[in-house]
Amino acid sequence: MKLSLSIRDMIVRFDGFRALDTVSLDVETGQSFGIVGESGSGKSTLLRAVAGLNPFDEGTLTVSGRSYSGRKRDREFYRTVQMVFQDPYGSLHPRQTVGRLLLEPLAIHGIPDAEVRIARALDEVGLGSGFRFRFSHQLSGGQRQRIAIARALILEPQILLLDEPTSALDASIQAEILNLLEQVRKDRGLTFVMVSHDLSVISHMCEKLVVMKSGKVVETLSTEQLRSRDFSTDYTRQLLTASEGFRRD
């Protein structure tokens, strides 16, 4: 079993409060791994700690065999790990064209053939080359999220961190984005780590998941166990019931 990502006893504190409390998990190479839990359970904090957007105070993080500290990340890390954020309206610079947004990571990492890579990235997410001249305010929510995905993929990472990538989109667009992500994962052999409060999304996209509550991992399951309701904690059972919504007896 080859691991893309390994976390051991990770702790994140904010003003003395433990937002993550000794979290441990392993993600295999090529796996799609889910993180679920109610709001405030620590899901997004965990993803941001992995990405280096907020430091972790204790514990270890290993990515593709390399260990990283609580805050410091190097360029090799960002060639390996990229993140797609929840809000497609806030994650794109409003004064940059799509072409400029896609060029920036290539320029930072000194990657040649920018024109070819930008055209290929836009094609991969189902947008034509004409979109490179548009600004983000000229795009729909689904188009913006496609651009955000293209920007993450343009560095050809091995691991994609997905922080509720469809929750800000209309229901009709959510399925399109999820299908796009699944196709990209198959085509590129990517490893996914996906945060969601929606168990149906995780069940569709992921092979394995952890359930989080109050900054802790309370259960680790395969999606087959989730579908067959083979779980051990009442919290997971309550979370599944809440995800299914209200049903009159």
92-96, 120-124, 156-160: least confidently modelled range: 92-96
Determine the Cα angle at 86 with ends 7 and 193, to 5°.
30
Q: Domain coordinates of the chain in residue numbers?
A: 3-242
Q: What confidence score (pLDDT) does residue 122 get?
A: 95
Q: What confidence score (pLDDT) does residue 198 get?
A: 82
Highest mean pLDDT out of 91-95, 118-122, 229-233: 118-122
When pLDDT is averaged across residues 157-168 and rounded to a whole number, the result is 91
Alpha helices in the chain (DSSP H): 43-51, 75-80, 98-108, 114-124, 141-153, 171-188, 199-205, 223-227, 234-244
Q: What confidence score (pLDDT) does residue 186 get?
A: 94
245 pLDDT band (50/70/90 cuts)? low
Cα–Cα distance, 215 to 236 (Å, whole number): 15
Q: What confidence score (pLDDT) does residue 81 get?
A: 95
Q: Using DSSP, state whether 73 is helix, strand or coil.
A: coil
19-42 pLDDT, tens digit per residue, is: 999 999 999 999 999 999 988 899
Model pTM score? 0.92
Cα–Cα distance, 140 to 120 (Å, whole number): 21
160 pLDDT band (50/70/90 cuts)? very high
208 pLDDT band (50/70/90 cuts)? very high
49 pLDDT band (50/70/90 cuts)? very high
Cα–Cα distance, 196 to 86 (Å, whole number): 10
Cα–Cα distance, 213 to 217 (Å, whole number): 7
For the record, the structure tokens of 201 come out as 């999304």
169-190 pLDDT, tens digit per residue, is: 888 888 899 999 999 999 999 9
Cα–Cα distance, 206 to 236 (Å, whole number): 16
Q: Using DSSP, state whether 61 is helix, strand or coil.
A: strand
Could you tell me the CATH superfamily of domain 3-242? P-loop containing nucleotide triphosphate hydrolases (3.40.50.300)
Q: Using DSSP, state whether 220 is helix, strand or coil.
A: strand
Determine the Cα angle at 144 with ends 244 and 193, to 5°.
50
With pLDDT > 70 as the criterion, what percentage of the chain qualifies? 97
Q: Using DSSP, state whether 173 is helix, strand or coil.
A: helix
End-to-end CA distance of the chain: 45
* Closest CA relative to residue 220, chosen from 82, 44, 28: 28
95-130 pLDDT, tens digit per residue, is: 899 999 999 999 999 999 999 999 999 999 999 888
Cα–Cα distance, 6 to 64 (Å, whole number): 9
